[in-house]
A and B are shown apart, each in its own frame.
Chain A
Amino acid sequence: MEIPKKLKEILGSRINKFTLKNDKRIYIEILARDLRETVSILFNKLKLRFVTATGTDEKDHVEIIYHFSFDKEGVLCSLRIRLDRKLPQINTISDIVKGSIWIEREIYEMLEIKFIGHEKSAPLLLDAMSQSKKYPLRRNE
C-alpha cells in the first residue's frame, strides 16, 4: 500500500476525493484548475505513463477521467475532473503529454469539451466538412 500513501503525500491539498477501489485501481478527484500541475507531477516527477482519457456526459455535469499507469506496480491512477455541463472547458495537457494530442481532439468532437491551448481543433474521427453541430456522446443529442 505504498502508492496511495505516496500519492496523498505528493498531491496534498489538490486531492478533493481519494478512492481506493482495489489494490490496482485508484481514483482521485481534483479541481480543473489543478489539472496541469497534477499531470505534470504524475508524468514528469513520478514518471507515470499516460494511458488515455475518458469523457462522460453525466446527468448534471460532464467529467473527464485521465488514466495514468504505474507500470512497474501495475496500478492505474485515474484523475477525475467535473466540468460545467453548459460550457465545458479545461486547459490542455497536450504540451506536457504529447500522447494526449489525439484524445483531446476526440473528446472535443464527441462531447464538446473545449481544451484551452490545444493547437489542433480539427475533428479526428468525424467528418470535418460536416456543418452539423452534433456531439455524439452528449446525452441530449
Chain B
Amino acid sequence: MNKNKNIMEFPLELKSTVFMSGGWFRLKVEREKITGFKIETGRNHRGIEKLSEDRHFNQIAILSARICSSCSVSNQFAYVRAIEELAGIEVSSRAEYIRTIAAEIERIREHFTWLGLVFYHLKRRMLYVFCRKNCNFISEICEKIFGNREQFDVIKIGGVRKDFLNDKEKILKEVAEESAKIIHQIYDIIRKDIQIKTRLKGIGVLSAKDGIDYCAVGPTARASGIDIDVRRDEPYSAYKFVEFEVPVGIEGDVYSRMLVRIAEIKEAVSIIEQCICKISSTSLEISSDVGEIPEGEGIGRHESSGGEVFHYIKSYGGTVPYRHKIRGASYMNMVSNEAIIKGYSIEDAAIILSSIDAYCGCVER
C-alpha cells in the first residue's frame, strides 16, 4: 500500500501455457483507475545474441527459430535475409514461395491465437474454443507438411531445407479454406455481438501520435492508422509476386486491433492461395550454393504477425558472426504499453495488455 491510502500497487502476470511466454507487470491503481505502470523484464533472457557469437552461421538459423515461439519462422526469415544480403546470395523462386507460405501459415495461426486470447479475457469460452480448435487444426496440417507442429525450421541460408510442398498443395489448400471459413464466421459473430463491441471499443487506445513516438509496429501501429508493412514497403521473397492489401484502422483501440487482425487473416489466406497457384510454374531448385560468408554487414527484416522483426549481422569472415543483433516486434510494442494503459479501469488491464502481443520471449531473447 502506498503512503496515499487510495493508491494500491499490485502485480499482474499474463501467463498461460496455452498462449505465450508471458508478461509480468506491476500496476499502480487509484480508485480502480490505473495511474502507474511498470513492466518487469528479465525473467526470459537467454542471451541469444551472445550465443550467436560462437555458433556457425547455419546453426544460428536454427537458434533464431527458438527466440520466440510465436514468430519462429519470422525470426529465421529475417536472419537468413540478413546473411543473404551480406553475402549476395540469390534464392530460387520455389524456395521463396515455400518461405512465404510458411510465414503466412504462422501469421494465420498467431492471429487466431491472439483472437483466442482476447475472447479468453472476455470470458467468451465458445469463441475461444473456436479459435483454439483452428490453431490445433493448423498445427496438425503443419506437422503433415513440415514435420513439426510449432517450429517448422523450414528456412535455411540460401533457400529451404527440403521441398516441403511436394504434392502437398491439396493439404495446404485445406488450411486456407478452413481458416477463411472460420474467420468469416468469427467476423460475423463479432459484427452482430453488441457486447463484444461495447467491451472492446474505446479501451487501450494508442493514438497515431503515440504510435509514431513509441515507434510501434505491426497490427498495433496499423490499427492506429500508421500504414506500415515491410512486406509491401520493401518487397522481398514471394511478396513481390503476389497481390495483397494492408488493412489499416483508425481508432487505435482493442476493437480496431481485432478488426485489423481479422482482415490480415483473410489477406494471408489469399497470399497462400496465390502462392499455391504460382509455385507449380517454378523450377524444382530449392537451395542455392552458399560459399564462405564474407566480411561485411547485412540487415534482414520480415513482417511477423506482431510486426517488423529485425536482424543485423556483422561478419569479419570465417564461420561465425562478429555481431548478431535481434529486435523482435514486441520489443517496440511493449514500450508503447505505457501510453495505452494509463487512465483505464483495472478490469480492462488484462485485455489491453494482451492486445499488443506481450511476448517476453521475443523482447528478452
Q: Which residues on A are within 8 Å of B, measured CB to CB?
A: 22, 24-25, 47, 49-52, 54, 56, 65, 67, 71-76, 78, 97-103, 110, 123-128, 136-137
Task: Given contact pairs A99-B214, A103-B327, enumerate 15 new A-B contacts (beta carbons under 8 Å).
Answer: A25-B85, A25-B299, A51-B308, A52-B332, A54-B323, A54-B325, A67-B299, A76-B301, A99-B332, A100-B215, A123-B42, A125-B42, A125-B364, A136-B47, A137-B50
B335 contact from A71, A73, A99, Cβ within 8 A: A99
> Are the C-beta atoms of A56 and B215 separated by less than 8 Å?
no
> Are the C-beta atoms of A50 and B335 separated by less than 8 Å?
no
A22–B87 Cα gap in the complex (Å)?
Answer: 13
A52–B312 Cα gap in the complex (Å)?
Answer: 10
A sample of 25 inter-chain contacts (CB < 8 A) reads A24-B234, A25-B85, A25-B299, A47-B212, A49-B215, A50-B215, A51-B308, A52-B310, A52-B325, A52-B332, A54-B312, A56-B314, A71-B233, A72-B233, A74-B234, A99-B213, A99-B216, A99-B335, A103-B327, A103-B331, A110-B49, A125-B42, A125-B45, A126-B42, A137-B49
Measured between C-beta atoms, what is the minimum distance from A37 to chain B in Å?
A: 19
A106–B46 Cα gap in the complex (Å)?
Answer: 14
Classify the secondary structure of B's interface with A: mixed
Chain A, residue nearest B364 (CB): A125
Count B interface residues, CB 8 Å: 32
In the assembled complex, which residues on chain A have CB atoms less than 8 Å from the CB atom of B215? 49-51, 97-100
> Are the C-beta atoms of A101 and B335 separated by less than 8 Å?
yes
Determine if B230 is an interface residue (Cβ-Cβ < 8 Å): yes
Determine if B11 is an interface residue (Cβ-Cβ < 8 Å): no
In the assembled complex, which residues on chain A have CB atoms less than 8 Å from the CB atom of B233? 71-74
A128 contact from B42, B299, B314, Cβ within 8 A: B42
Chain B, residue nearest A97 (CB): B215
> Are the C-beta atoms of B299 and A76 separated by less than 8 Å?
yes
A106–B4 Cα gap in the complex (Å)?
Answer: 33
Measured between C-beta atoms, what is the minimum distance from A19 to chain B in Å?
A: 10
> Are the C-beta atoms of B214 and A67 separated by less than 8 Å?
no
The 4 closest A-B pairs by CB, nearest first: A99-B215, A74-B234, A74-B233, A54-B325
Determine if B318 is an interface residue (Cβ-Cβ < 8 Å): no
> Are the C-beta atoms of A136 and B42 separated by less than 8 Å?
no
With A49-B228, A126-B45, A137-B50: A67-B335 Cβ-Cβ less than 8 Å? no
Determine if B235 is an interface residue (Cβ-Cβ < 8 Å): yes
In the assembled complex, which residues on chain B have CB atoms less than 8 Å from the CB atom of A75? 234
Determine if B322 is an interface residue (Cβ-Cβ < 8 Å): yes
